[in-house]
A = this chain, B = another copy of it.
């Protein structure tokens, strides 16, 4: 999968890996809809220590198997520099989440690994801060960095975060790095995700990252913000038409 240069990363999957069965269903559905990377969390950064923390290595195995079965590379979040080895063993791409965008030791560690890194913007990071964090990875020799706009904290209380769509052209004007958009975490609302995914493509993003769950009401994490597989498939049709207007391949 190439990302950037006209090729788009269509990343989809559940917030957390919950079981082989559920992930298999979701992976099959997003693959059919046109996704080219499967996501799923095994180590979950939760605000409260009493929330579900992810399945750990068991989750990584399930993710790897689903990726293999459906022929999709897999990406998962890494939270601790000591997890690089195990995550690298099972996955094709590291995700550094918003809460760890300035966890500099983690950045240095994935900077020494040989797999691409999806670096999400911190909740109150400026675009320049995000580029500086990318620099921590690049400076260690890993040049495969993909940035991700996922919304920032604001006073608006009807959405989970505020999606700063202008980060897309803003980054493109000062860096060669590809940038994708995550409307799921940015809005936290399935009714707003499709419009924001379309806007991302029209703004020139190199991909979109969307949470999909076959049964959102039973999801162990962030269920309410997930799209259903059929909603995702419908959205992908729209995105394909917009990508064409933008001269991009999906």
Contacts and interface: CB of A to CB of B under 8 A. Distances in A.
A199 interface: yes
Interface in A112-158: 122-124, 126-129, 132-133, 135-136, 139, 152-158
Q: How big is the A interface, by class? A: 35 or more
A196 B165 contact: yes
A1 interface: no
A179 to B, nearest CB: 11
Given A45-B102, A201-B202, A157 B124 contact: no
Contacts of A80: 81, 105-106
Interface stretch (A67-75, A185-193, A222-230): A185-193
Contacts of A196: 165-166, 169, 203
Interface of A: 45-50, 79-82, 99-100, 102-106, 122-124, 126-129, 132-133, 135-136, 139, 152-159, 162-166, 168-170, 173, 186-187, 191-192, 194-196, 198-204, 238, 241-242, 245
